[in-house]
Structure 1
Amino acid sequence: MVSILLLLGLLLPAIGAQSVGVCNGRLGDNLPSEQEVVDLYRANGIGRMRIYDPNQATLQALRGSNIELILDVPTSDDLLQTLASDASAATQWVQNNVINYFPAVKFRYISVGNEVDPNSGTAQFVLPAMQNIYKAIAAAGLQDQIKVSTATYSALLPYALFTAPGVVVQDNSYQYSNLFDAMLDAMYSAVEKVGGQGLEIVVSESGWPSEGGNAATTDNASTYYRNLINHVKGGTPKKPGNAIETYLFAMFDENLKPNAETEKHFGLFYPNKQPKYQVTFN
């Protein structure tokens, strides 16, 4: 799975700076407390987190942690419609979930909706909701520190795992030996064609399940995460030398996630906080 956060006018991190964060999902009944999770991030040198809703206990635990945060506005028809149609509701949402915690919590981005199907009825609310959230952020004078966008979805074995021995795809002067670069550069090309030359991309989710389906094995997942962490430091063929800000999905296995069995097995850690793989995050 790859989810992409499109950010207008945002410079990518300098090479050498940490470019890897980890998504923190909470759909489980056996997960550590929010404070334990924040402590685990810090103990493993993970300096960036994404959360999928403004969980107040998580925000409270993040105070003073110096962990940079992507905060999602949840993908809910009612919420997105309200934020799209009522600027005062957006202002209140920002007050409750951002201003009340800033600057003790280091908000990096607000992602309005997550992987909303462009053909769904919800899609019409995403842009106006983003605009109202941005206006509320700007009214607080935080538009230079906190960027507002949305996360789009791109559905993702040697080619995918960064283990292909050579070039798999040739696209004019660009050579691709892995699926991650090909997908990212395809997104860059698409947005450039509609006038988005100044757009930079943050990969807000990328992960591999350890069980639950074909190719969902611990070995494959470990290979993917290790190779992804090493790979994103160097950019893509279209944008070489630019570290790719990337968030690994996810911190823990989540036993209450719905749909496919694989959805429950993306964790880098077990719920008891023991690592599933030997990876280094920085």
Structure 2
Amino acid sequence: MNFFFAKRNAPMSASLLLLATLLCVGLQFTVAQVGVCYGANGNNLPTKQDVINLYKSSGIKRMRIYNPDEATLQALRGSNIEVILGVPNDSLQSLTNAAAASNWVQKYVKTYSPAVKFRYIAVGNEVHPGDGNAGNVLPAMRNIQNAISAANLQGQIKVSTAIDTTLLGKSYPPKDGFYTDSGYIRPIINFLANNGAPLLANVYPYFAYTNNQQSIPLAYALFTQQGKNEVGYQNLFDALLDSLYAANEKLGAPNLKIVVSESGWPSAGGVGATLGNAGTYYRNLINHAKGGTPKKPNGPIETYLFAMFDENMKTGAETEKHFGLFRPDKSAKYQLTFN
């Protein structure tokens, strides 16, 4: 990229050189904020090594995986891809045992680090207060944190958990956001704040839109609305994210960073689920993540798109099978620029 229209081979002044360096650093920082979740719930997907190669050739520098699959971890060695490593919900109870947590970290983290660049450990995904596992999340987080510290990796890897926006009792207007069950989430928020770790949050304007089409325009969900609404918001993504920030404030954690650990739009299988809408959403989200929200304007927003591939073995609604950015044959569904 040419930053200056200068005579070829002319000496660059110190001030121009500094400006060029700052611009390059800023661009790299912005680009690297968007990662992609590697959903692997399909029987027709590429090999693990082919998947890692596709991440690299596509310029995708961050990945979220949902369980410590060793074939994937092996393929990630030396890739320079930063990773969110998930602890599956069905493993949470076992990790309330400190020795088991230490063994888990030794087997899946210490063994592969630093050849694999772990960024976060996501201890559980979308566990709700009424779930049988709810009481296991925080003890498992503590034990994994202690094991990470014992392995002398606490400066490199942050321990968190991934929530969804259904934990909010109110999300509009965003400034009034609060958690329905603060007894469940408050100790988790305190743990994260005390350890300098972010809260991971799965943020889906698609589901908010489909559940309330009477009040939410499609353009507002797709980042294409012109002008702001009555509370100062131009898109639903920012409104949902800021409602989480507001909820954290009410629990005494106004400075807790939120990482958007999932966000996507399906291309088939339901209301508004078209290739055109999905492509629009992903392109606009990648661009939007370079900035901030009305409440937290100093971005960028670290965001993970869901997901790398369509997953034909996903259960639930038909839309669940159609969130892929790529088809199983590795062809791109959309023209997206990650780097």
1:239: Cα distance to partner?
A: 1.1
Is contact 2:266-2:323 (8 Å) kept? yes
Stretch of structure 1 that moved more, 193-202 or 246-255: 193-202
Secondary structure (helix, strand or coil) at the match of 1:199 reads coil
Which letter does structure 2 place at the counterpart of 1:221?
A
The alignment of Structure 1 onto Structure 2 pairs a total of residues equal to 263
Which letter does structure 2 place at the counterpart of 1:61?
A
Secondary structure (helix, strand or coil) at the match of 1:251 reads coil
Q: Please give the residue correspondences for 1:169-180 in structure 2 after superposition, counting only pairs within 5 Å.
A: 169-170=230-231, 175-180=232-237
The aligned counterpart of 1:243 is 300
Structure 1 residues 103 and 158, CA gap change in structure 2 (3 angstroms)? same
1:16: Cα distance to partner?
A: 2.8
1:119: Cα distance to partner?
A: 1.6
1:14: Cα distance to partner?
A: 8.3
The aligned counterpart of 1:83 is 95
The aligned counterpart of 1:47 is 61
The aligned counterpart of 1:159 is 220
Is contact 1:112-1:129 (8 Å) kept? yes
Is contact 2:31-2:338 (8 Å) kept? no
Which letter does structure 2 place at the counterpart of 1:102?
S
The aligned counterpart of 1:227 is 284
Structure 1 residues 280 and 253, CA gap change in structure 2 (3 angstroms)? same
1:90: Cα distance to partner?
A: 0.2
Match of 2:148 among 134, 137, 143: 137
Secondary structure (helix, strand or coil) at the match of 2:86 reads strand
**Percent sequence identity over matched residues?**
64
Q: 1:185-236, CA deviations, whole angstroms, 9 ceiling, x for partnerless residues?
A: 1111111111112310100000000000010110000000000000010111
Query: Do residues 201 (structure 1) and 273 (structure 2) align?
Result: no
Q: Please give the residue correspondences for 1:67-106 in structure 2 after superposition, counting only pairs within 5 Å.
A: 67-76=81-90, 79-84=91-96, 86-106=97-117
The aligned counterpart of 1:10 is none
Query: Do residues 214 (structure 1) and 271 (structure 2) align?
Result: yes
Query: Do residues 118 (structure 1) and 143 (structure 2) align?
Result: no
Distance 2:230 2:42 in 1: 39
Which letter does structure 1 place at the counterpart of 2:60?
I
Query: Which one has the largest radius of gyration?
Result: 2
1:169: Cα distance to partner?
A: 4.1
Higher relative contact order (CA 8 A, sep 6+): 1
Structure 1 residues 115 and 54, CA gap change in structure 2 (3 angstroms)? same
Is contact 1:48-1:67 (8 Å) kept? yes
Unaligned runs of 5+ in 2: 1-26, 166-206, 209-217
Which letter does structure 2 place at the counterpart of 1:161?
L
Q: 1:72-108, CA deviations, whole angstroms, 9 ceiling, x for partnerless residues?
A: 00011xx211111x10000000011100100000000
Structure 1 residues 169 and 101, CA gap change in structure 2 (3 angstroms)? farther
Distance 1:195 1:104 in 2: 37
Distance 1:169 1:18 in 2: 33
Secondary structure (helix, strand or coil) at the match of 1:152 reads strand
Q: 1:3-51, CA deviations, whole angstroms, 9 ceiling, x for partnerless residues?
A: xxxxxxxxxx985351100000111010000000000000010000000
Distance 1:17 1:276 in 2: 21
Q: Which has the higher strand share?
A: 1
Runs (4+) of structure 1 exceeding 3 A deviation are none
Stretch of structure 1 that moved more, 189-198 or 43-52: 189-198
Stretch of structure 1 that moved more, 47-56 or 234-243: 234-243
The aligned counterpart of 1:9 is none
Structure 1 residues 60 and 235, CA gap change in structure 2 (3 angstroms)? same
- TM-score, normalised on structure 2? 0.76
Is contact 1:169-1:177 (8 Å) kept? no
Question: CA RMSD for the aligned pairs?
Answer: 1.3
Is contact 2:262-2:306 (8 Å) kept? yes
Is contact 1:14-1:243 (8 Å) kept? no
Which letter does structure 2 place at the counterpart of 1:21?
G
Structure 1 residues 40 and 14, CA gap change in structure 2 (3 angstroms)? closer
Stretch of structure 1 that moved more, 222-231 or 192-201: 192-201
Secondary structure (helix, strand or coil) at the match of 2:93 reads helix
Distance 1:169 1:188 in 2: 19
The aligned counterpart of 2:34 is 20
1:141: Cα distance to partner?
A: 0.9
Secondary structure (helix, strand or coil) at the match of 2:89 reads coil
The aligned counterpart of 2:15 is none
